[in-house]
A and B are shown apart, each in its own frame.
Chain A
């Protein structure tokens, strides 16, 4: 049983498309993180949120605490957005749990 489930696992989009990646979790959390990992391994934290919605450039993250669900949206996708996106939650017991990641490829 995975504490964090992500969908889809793989996603291919045309440049300019609107993209949504979903994350559901089953534990009580203090915060949810969206991470981006490029080939080669480097991980960047995109968002940390515990309620509502955050926006950074073309990226938007939302969370619904009651439904235990979060979404990451990318507007006007670009080939440089190609990466693996990982949803992670910090549980109320302070453990971190990770989704298996969504591999995004944006085609020019």
Chain B
């Protein structure tokens, strides 16, 4: 079974631009979560989607948004990029196992904002 794929793997943008990142979950998984990882803040939860609905959202400004499609693929969008948005963005595909949501992480997209 193929793992979680994220595209692109690396991205360079300038302040003020917007960016869209893509995540394809493992086949059969219906939930996708997004995380931001920076050296200063560590890992932080962005949002979680399940069956095209946002189930949960972390404490990020409205510039960060996402969506999930009927085939479970997900995109996240960051508008009006700031230097502080430079980070590794990780997506995780989730399946329910024993009543709990087990997470499988993708390789991440490294975003650099200049």
- Give the number of residue pairs across the A-B interface with Cβ within 8 Å: 53
Q: Is the CB of A41 within 8 A of B58?
A: no
Whether A69 is near chain B, meaning CB under 8 Å from some CB there, is: no
Contact residues, B42-56 vs A (CB, 8 A): 42-45, 48, 55-56
Instruction: Give the residues in chain A near B90, CB-CB below 8 Å.
Output: 41, 43
A82 CB to closest chain B CB, in angstroms?
19
Closest to B97 in A: A48
Closest to A97 in B: B45
Closest to B48 in A: A94
Whether B22 is near chain A, meaning CB under 8 Å from some CB there, is: no
Which of the candidate stretches B12-20, B63-71, B77-85, B101-109 sits at the interface with the other chain? B101-109
Which 4 residue pairs across A and B have the least CB separation, nearest first?
A96-B45, A98-B43, A43-B105, A94-B56
